[in-house]
C-alpha cells in the first residue's frame, strides 16, 4: 500500500494523523518564532508537540525507551474518540494563546482543530483506527 492509496482510502483517522503531524511541525516552528511574545504558550506548544510525536508515530514507541506509566497513558489514545478529544483540548489551549495577543501559534491551533475534526469524523463513521505505514503503522491494509 502506497501513501497515495492511503490518501484516497477515505479513512479519516489517516487524515487526522497526517494533519496532526503537520500540527506538530507547526507547533515546533511557530513556538520558536513566537517565543518572545508567547513564552509560556511556546513552551506548552513544544510539550504538546512531544506528546503528539509519541501518540502519532508508532515507530517512536519502538525505538525510544518509555516508562510503563507513559505507555499506559498513550494506550488511552488508540481509538478515534479519545484522539479527537485530545486534539480538541490541545487546540483550545493553543487558541487561548491569542487572548494575550495574536501570534503564529494560531496556525498550529487550526491544524490541531482540523485533526480533531478528522478523528471525530472517523469515530462518528465507525472507522477503525489506522496509522500510516510511512511512520511504522499498519496502514489501511489491516483495517476491515
What proportions of the chain, in percent to the nearest 5, are helix, strand and coil? Answer: 70, 0, 30
Whole-model pTM: value is 0.85
Sign of the dihedral defined by the CA atoms of residues 109, 46, 88, 100, in that order: negative
Separation CA 3–CA 39 (nearest Å):
37
Q: State the pLDDT confidence band at 62, using cuts at 50, 70 and 90.
A: confident
74-127 pLDDT, tens per residue? 887 788 889 999 999 999 999 988 887 788 889 999 999 999 999 999 999 888
Contact 80, 16 (CB under 8 A): yes
CB 132 within 8 A of CB 57: no
Amino acid at each position: 500500500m502506497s501513501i497515495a492509496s492511503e490518501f484516497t482510502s477515505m479513512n479519516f483517522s489517516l487524515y487526522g494523523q497526517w494533519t496532526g503531524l503537520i500540527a506538530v511541525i507547526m507547533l515546533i516552528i511557530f513556538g520558536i518564532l513566537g517565543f518572545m511574545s508567547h513564552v509560556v504558550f511556546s513552551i506548552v506548544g513544544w510539550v504538546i508537540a512531544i506528546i503528539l510525536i509519541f501518540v502519532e508515530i508508532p515507530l517512536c514507541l519502538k525505538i525510544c525507551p518509555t516508562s510503563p506509566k507513559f505507555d499506559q497513558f498513550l494506550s488511552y489514545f488508540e481509538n478515534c474518540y479519545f484522539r479527537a478529544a485530545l486534539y480538541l483540548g490541545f487546540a483550545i489551549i493553543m487558541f487561548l494563546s491569542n487572548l494575550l495577543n495574536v501570534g503564529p501559534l494560531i496556525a498550529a491551533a487550526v491544524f490541531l482543530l482540523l485533526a480533531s475534526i478528522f478523528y471525530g469524523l472517523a469515530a462518528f463513521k465507525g472507522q477503525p483506527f489506522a496509522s500510516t505505514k510511512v511512520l511504522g503503522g499498519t496502514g489501511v491494509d489491516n483495517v476491515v
